[in-house]
Amino acid sequence: MEIKISDLPGIGKKYAFDTSHSGHFVLIIHQQGMREFFHFKHPDDDEAEYNFQLNDEEARQIGAIMLGVDYQPIADDRMELFLRNVRLEWIKVKPQCTIANKRIDEARIRTLTGCTIIGIQREGQIIGSPDVSEVIRPGDTLMAIGKREQVKSLEDLCQG
């Protein structure tokens, strides 16, 4: 993103930039500390569509949040790495399969496949992070997380 900086003598500084999704913005930092945002639909527009103001403290707080001081989403490249290795799948339990009508611990899913069941969808309801004593019924949809091959072997198990 390119930011054009210019002086507004006697008033403060002006920062103009184009965003990839939301048009053209101008930020003015006043000498007294106030921040004023102006939004232009197109960079060529000569009048702002709307504007808002933040005082010095508000601007600093929001600035810190935007920087990621409190919460940092996983960066794009890390997310890709994560997705390449770990899969989250919804798997339908066929009636004839070996794990149907067994408790999760009886079915020994973790031992056999390595997958973790993080949820069960049953008759339109979701059982989140089910207990190991939960009985898997035919027709359930298991929400399972694991590596690619682990998920694959659970899928095989559910096919029967």
Partner 1 sequence: MDNVPFLLLAGLILCVFFAVSFASQKLRLPSVLVYIILGVGVSSRFVDSSAIHTVAEIGIVILFFILGMEFPLGRMIAISKKIWPSGLMDVVLNLGGATVLALLFGLAFPAALVIGSVAYATSSSISAKMLHEQKRLANPEAEFILAILIFEDLVAPVLVSFIAAMGQGETLSPQFGALLLFKIVLLVAGAIFLGHFGFKRLNDFVIRHLQKDFMPLMTAGVALSYAGLAIALGLSEILGAFLAGMMLSETGRSTELEHLVLPIRDITLPFFFFWFGTTISLGEGIPRVPLLVTLIVWAAIGKIITGYAGGRMYGLSPKVSSRASFSIIHRGEFSAIIASLAAPQLKLLSGIYILVTAFMGVYLFQKAPSLANWYHERWCRKCEVES
- By C-beta, is 6 or 96 nearer to partner 1? 6
Restricting to residues 57-76, name those near partner 1 by CB under 8 A. none
17 forms part of the interface with partner 1 (CB under 8 A) = no
140 forms part of the interface with partner 1 (CB under 8 A) = no
- By C-beta, is 7 or 131 nearer to partner 1? 7
Candidate list 3, 4, 5, 51; residue touching partner 1; CB under 8 A: 51
Angstrom distance (rounded) from CA 36 to CA 10: 15
46 forms part of the interface with partner 1 (CB under 8 A) = yes
Q: Residue 54: exposed, middle, or buried by beta-carbon count in 10 A (0-12, 13-18, 19+)?
A: middle
- By C-beta, is 60 or 108 nearer to partner 1? 60
**Dihedral sign from CA coordinates of 118, 150, 79, 70:** positive
Angstrom distance (rounded) from CA 96 to CA 103: 16
Q: Which of 43, 27, 45 is nearest to 35 (CA)?
A: 27
- By C-beta, is 8 or 132 nearer to partner 1? 8
What minimum distance in Å lies between the beta carbon of 5 and partner 1?
12
Angstrom distance (rounded) from CA 126 to CA 70: 31
48 forms part of the interface with partner 1 (CB under 8 A) = yes
Q: At which residue do the structure tokens 């794009």 appear?
A: 76
Binding site residues, partner 1, CB under 8 A: 6-11, 14, 16, 26, 28, 31, 36, 38, 40, 46-48, 51
